[in-house]
A = this chain, B = another copy of it.
């Protein structure tokens, strides 16, 4: 009945973030003998730019992806997730997460869910969208900002 064999974790690459969701997923994967893949979505900047009347070029987006890749590699190296299980994609987080989950046929998605209002509103909506759109189970890991676990 515990059929989780491949876990997809939505990763935040904020250096102040403790990556509790990733650590929880990795610990769970060891007990369940499951694979873990990390995914991070880099949002398209053009829409932000348009809102402020500025043009954001492809070079800026490229830089964002490079920075994300670097942060992802540091995280993967630190936590022992092989390179082939680290994914960076451009696009809205919920769409990227759901698309990768289907592509990889994972059976569990792990997302962080912030406890503070404000941040909660933003990240909660990704978590909600993932839960509603996912064709598999979703574990929402509660993240209390500033709390070490």
Interface residue ranges, A against B (CB under 8 Å): 1-2, 23-24, 26-28, 30-32, 113, 115, 120, 124, 127-128, 131-132, 134-142, 149
Contact = CB atoms under 8 A, between A and B. Distances in A.
Contacts of A128: 128, 131
A149 B137 CA distance: 13
A124 B135 CA distance: 14
Contacts of A113: 131-132, 138
Contacts of A23: 1
Contacts of A2: 24, 27-28, 30-31
25 contacts: A1-B23, A1-B24, A1-B26, A1-B27, A2-B24, A2-B27, A2-B28, A2-B30, A2-B31, A24-B137, A31-B31, A31-B32, A113-B131, A113-B132, A113-B138, A115-B135, A124-B131, A127-B131, A131-B140, A135-B142, A136-B142, A137-B140, A137-B141, A138-B139, A139-B139
